[in-house]
Structure 1
Amino acid sequence: MFLYSLVATMGLNGPGTTLLFVLLTILFIKWFHKPKQPWKSRLPPGPSALPILGNLFQVDRRATKKSLMKLGEQYGPVFTIWLGSCPAVVLCGHEAVTEALIERGHDFGGRYVLPVFKTLSNDYGIASSNGERWKQIRRFTLSTLKNFGMGRKSIEQRNQEEAQFLVTAIRNKKDTPFSPNLFLRFAVSNIICSLVFGDRFDYEDKRFLTLIEMISENMRVLSGPWIQMYNNFPTIMDFLPGPHKKLFQNVADLLNFIKQMIQSHKESLQKDFPRDYIDSFLIKMEEEEHKHDSEFIHMNLLWAIMDLFFAGTETTSTTLQWAIQILAKYPQVQEKIHGEIDEVVGSCRRPTVEDRAKMPYTDAVIHEVQRYIDLAPMGLPHAVTKDVEFRGYLIPEGTCVLPLLSSVLKGTSQWETPDKFNPNHFLDENGDFKQSKSFMPFSAGKRICLGESLARMELFLFLTTLLQNFVFKPVIDRKEIDISPVISGLADVPNDYEFYFISR
């Protein structure tokens, strides 16, 4: 009766409930007959877990980070939860996260591939790979993106040009209120598209619109409770309908688009004149085609592009969405940035990266936006690369490790007002910008986001260009703007509001 009641609470009726009941029963029988693992007693402490279900009832699927933060208060900075029948060691607080990811980065530098990503990418590409594959593809990707301008003046100019396209698109709305989210995704995505595909897309391109909408939908699904259920019970969820099926279909459609782009590049490839990331990878594939163990194969190209396209589109554009909402809610902050822009940049030229050093308040606001919104509360899961002794516990090789970035970005010992938006967190007593070792929105250590420098440039140039040209004014009363996430999972997804963009 317990199992049948459980599946009924998941919102399934009729045949769906019966099927899930049967599958859970089979899994329970298998669990009780499997050999016990001697290392379990050396794992960090944590809440008691049920067979098969793990800590399903102690972790709120709609507010995972809050549940983990609360468990950290009870069990300490290193504790264990069970994702179904798999243990996950949670690192909570600045000291524990720093010790693991930075001081012992090699031991904690593996990637634990969640079942949903295993189903999707099968460990190909950058984000979900490990070992020699990850090292080679990441090293090649960083080198190639730098060759095509990442971190250099040329990519800064692309950002400046794209920011002007964004301004023009907003001006064409002629002071009518609208949600800027789609335009922000177009603009940010075009930067990574120029590096990977060698070109940008027009904002009126219907194919581009479809791709961007699919990426946005995927982020929402990945951050929702159904995917958390999938990661706990993949065998069961594969048999059931739900949003995860839409995710898989969207990814299949995105892969088809990428395959078409790769084929087009193959047909026009000139080995002596690579145009972009795809050309460079294709050339590397041909150079290593006779190596039986080469990692430069079609599937790694396909998924490296998917990783870059997804991360390069969604994370920065979502941060900009949050920034506009926060600045509309706090007009006094917006006014101070306007004053700094007027003083340093003026209205006759485009903002540059060099301006950032002369604009400490603007820089502080951007950093505080990233800290406050806590976009990726847990980042992507890590794994230990060998059996690891850590703070008196034994973590077996391959065990999932969840570095709770929220506990660093919102830690009470590191920040004066951790739960409030406060740019003074990044300003000293003289009003100069100050760094913080607890600023980890891009994670830390060996698995830190490879696009960090590009994202930082995009955030500064896009936001300052928008504020150079517009005042953000909400349609509703600014006090009613809710700057807490509407969905919190893999990412914290903001509410969707309309704004007036009033020309300055």
Structure 2
Amino acid sequence: MWIRAILAAVLACLLILHFLKLLQAYKKYPPGPSVIETAAHLVRSGFRIHYDLFTEAAKKHGHVFTIWIGHYPLVIVSGVQAVKEALIKHSEIFAGKPVTPYFNAVAKEKGIVFSNGHTWKQQRKFGMSTMRKLGMGKKSVQNQIEEEAHYLVEAFAHAKGQPIDPSLLVANSVCNVICILVFGHRYSADDEEFVKLIKSVKYSTKFGGTFFHLLYEGFPWIMKHIKWPYKEAFSAVDFMLSHARREIEKHRAQPTPYEPQDYIDYYLLQMEKSKNDPTSTYDYENLLQCISDFFSAATDTTSDTLQWGLLLMVTHPVIQEKAQKEIEDAFGSSQSIVYQDRKKVPYTFAMVHEIQRFKCILLAGNPRVCLEDATILGSFIPKGSIVVPDVRSILYDPKLWETPLKFNPNHFLDKDGKFVDKEELLIFGAGARVCPGKDMAKSELFLFLTNLLRAFTFKLPEGVKEANTEPVLGMTMGPHRYKLCAVPRYSEL
């Protein structure tokens, strides 16, 4: 009996100490919703973080507040002033990347997205310089995007105006751009290996923010021994890496090209050049993870944005028609469209930007780690804090946008109808961790959408009166699966 009493007393003391430790920790961070309020929100939203949590917290606690997920604090910076101060003014302080248990198991702090310090700086610098080199050759990235846009138009044309789900067609084209950049070749849409690659990329991306993902982050010492909820997620990652290994081995088996043709060529060459450099991080594991990063970061985000764009054309036929007329006046029915032509179609280019604003696919900006003590708008943020920029608070701010809750391309036009590039569109991040592939993503969105709108008018299938425009909640928020009709605008299609 007395043993039970002693154990109960010890347990009670431990709980009290843990509670006191949490209270002490709470005092270090900016105030925010209580653990109970956050837990209630997670239950209501099906154990996913909904962006309403940030909105309501900002109204109550100001532009810098803390959300506690269990005993893990997330400092949220909300509003244009706070986000810019963190990401731009204090760019180097907020350049760290949090390495959570799940993503540490997946990426092992390799590559670009989930690395820090010297590894991150070296891999990122090399990645960005290589992208620029690939974009300046005879077969530049721009030319390949234009070619993929034509393939996408052909794929839609095969449906002959009948209802189709555009998600796979769009994903094929976006993923092929990455394949050309990294592997040096594209795949046909019916290639089984390619189809499996796309599914693996999509699943690994969509797993982030799910209930089981959050469970792993909160209780890694338990969940790493419970395999079944994570079997498909880890299998998807393993397939992406094994596919990358096969492509690397193909490159190694071929004679060294006189001039590198793709990312793997450049990387293998760099590995050889720096093999005697003790500070070099150019190795096989980093190459694998960089390839995985390119696919994970670029495929699903751009694909989801394009799918939102097509859905918005269906639900806003007047805007669709206005863009089509501008495109037709500028290019006719057959002239090739290149990214440099965007100035000829300011309304359409503004519309592409408005799609990104109105249907932002990010729950929030990429989380950062505060590398030293910092103060944002008078709120102290301790070193080591995970800081999340609330990008949506900027994209729907009525002080910045005339009609923030409406799809309105005029947000990016001046009074004379000329395009205005607004720095408040922070969907690619800012500062030291700005997305290295943002220029390529912008080209894809413009070229794919303009070529599709020139070729087709998009409508709901007959009998379908309304489209679901609510997002699927997750770390990225794409549309629910839908069908549309791509009605050819010219007889030759």
Q: TM-score, normalised by structure 1?
A: 0.89
Q: How does 1:10-29 map to 2 (within 5 A)?
A: none
Aligned counterparts of 1:152 and 1:424: Cα–Cα separation in 2: 37
Q: How does 1:289-304 map to 2 (within 5 A)?
A: 289-304=275-290
Aligned counterparts of 1:476 and 1:77: Cα–Cα separation in 2: 46
Q: Does 1:56 align with 2:39?
A: yes
Aligned counterparts of 2:159 and 2:127: Cα–Cα separation in 1: 38
The amino acid across from 2:349 in the alignment is D
1:382 Cα offset (Å): 0.6
Equivalent residue for 2:111? 125
1:34 Cα offset (Å): 9.2
1:38 Cα offset (Å): 6.2
Equivalent residue for 1:192? 178
Note if contact 1:383-1:400 (Cα within 8 Å) is conserved in structure 2. yes
The amino acid across from 1:362 in the alignment is T
Q: Does 1:403 align with 2:386?
A: no
Deviations 1:170-213 (A, max 9, x none): 22223221111111111111111111101111112111011111
Q: Unpaired segments of 5 or more residues in structure 2?
A: 1-10
Aligned counterparts of 2:390 and 2:218: Cα–Cα separation in 1: 19
Aligned counterparts of 1:293 and 1:37: Cα–Cα separation in 2: 43
Deviations 1:31-88 (A, max 9, x none): 72996796652321112336xxx94334543343211111111111000112222221
1:282 Cα offset (Å): 1.2
Equivalent residue for 2:165? 179
SS at structure 2 position matched to 1:57 = helix
SS at structure 1 position matched to 2:435 = coil
Q: Unpaired segments of 5 or more residues in structure 1?
A: 1-24
Q: Does 1:209 align with 2:192?
A: no
Equivalent residue for 2:267? 281
SS at structure 2 position matched to 1:296 = coil
Q: How does 1:7-156 map to 2 (within 5 A)?
A: 32=18, 40-49=26-35, 55-59=38-42, 60=45, 61-149=47-135, 154-156=140-142
The amino acid across from 2:483 in the alignment is E
Aligned counterparts of 1:467 and 1:36: Cα–Cα separation in 2: 55
Deviations 1:414-442 (A, max 9, x none): 11221221112112222222232321111
Equivalent residue for 2:3? none
1:305 Cα offset (Å): 0.4
Instruction: Identify which of 416, 423, 442 aligns with 2:402.
Output: 416
The amino acid across from 2:129 in the alignment is S
SS at structure 2 position matched to 1:56 = helix
Deviations 1:95-125 (A, max 9, x none): 1001110111111111112332112101111
Equivalent residue for 2:459? 473
Note if contact 1:221-1:243 (Cα within 8 Å) is conserved in structure 2. no
Equivalent residue for 2:484? 499
1:397 Cα offset (Å): 2.1
Aligned counterparts of 1:164 and 1:146: Cα–Cα separation in 2: 23
1:244 Cα offset (Å): 3.4
Against the structure 1 CA distance between its residues 410 and 190, is the aligned structure 2 distance closer, same or farther, given a 3 Å change threshold?
A: same
Instruction: Identify which of 474, 484, 488 aligns with 1:489.
Output: 474
Instruction: Identify which of 330, 339, 354 aligns with 2:325.
Output: 339
1:132 Cα offset (Å): 1.1
Instruction: Identify which of 291, 295, 309 aligns with 1:305.
Output: 291
1:131 Cα offset (Å): 1.0
RMSD over aligned Cα atoms: 2.4
Against the structure 1 CA distance between its residues 153 and 299, is the aligned structure 2 distance closer, same or farther, given a 3 Å change threshold?
A: closer
Deviations 1:331-365 (A, max 9, x none): 11110011001110111212111221121110111
Deviations 1:250-286 (A, max 9, x none): 1011111111111111111416432211111111112
Q: TM-score, normalised by structure 2?
A: 0.90
Against the structure 1 CA distance between its residues 458 and 268, is the aligned structure 2 distance closer, same or farther, given a 3 Å change threshold?
A: same
Against the structure 1 CA distance between its residues 30 and 161, is the aligned structure 2 distance closer, same or farther, given a 3 Å change threshold?
A: farther
Aligned counterparts of 1:382 and 1:30: Cα–Cα separation in 2: 32
The amino acid across from 1:44 in the alignment is P
Against the structure 1 CA distance between its residues 77 and 33, is the aligned structure 2 distance closer, same or farther, given a 3 Å change threshold?
A: closer
Deviations 1:4-44 (A, max 9, x none): xxxxxxxxxxxxxxxxxxxxx99x85972996796652321
SS at structure 1 position matched to 2:164 = coil
SS at structure 2 position matched to 1:87 = strand
Instruction: Identify which of 219, 222, 227 aligns with 1:236.
Output: 222
Q: Percent identity?
A: 37
Note if contact 1:337-1:361 (Cα within 8 Å) is conserved in structure 2. yes
Note if contact 1:426-1:433 (Cα within 8 Å) is conserved in structure 2. yes
Q: Does 1:227 align with 2:213?
A: yes
Instruction: Identify which of 415, 420, 437 aligns with 2:423.
Output: 437
Equivalent residue for 1:11? none
Q: How many aligned positions are there?
A: 475
1:139 Cα offset (Å): 0.5
Note if contact 1:329-1:479 (Cα within 8 Å) is conserved in structure 2. no
Q: How does 1:152-171 map to 2 (within 5 A)?
A: 154-171=140-157
1:497 Cα offset (Å): 1.0
The amino acid across from 1:469 in the alignment is A
SS at structure 2 position matched to 1:157 = helix
Q: How does 1:308-387 map to 2 (within 5 A)?
A: 308-387=294-373
Against the structure 1 CA distance between its residues 225 and 493, is the aligned structure 2 distance closer, same or farther, given a 3 Å change threshold?
A: farther
Aligned counterparts of 2:63 and 2:106: Cα–Cα separation in 1: 32
Q: Does 1:388 align with 2:371?
A: no
The amino acid across from 2:402 in the alignment is E
The amino acid across from 1:42 in the alignment is K
Question: Bigger shift: 458-467 or 145-154?
Answer: 145-154
Note if contact 1:379-1:443 (Cα within 8 Å) is conserved in structure 2. yes
Against the structure 1 CA distance between its residues 340 and 498, is the aligned structure 2 distance closer, same or farther, given a 3 Å change threshold?
A: same
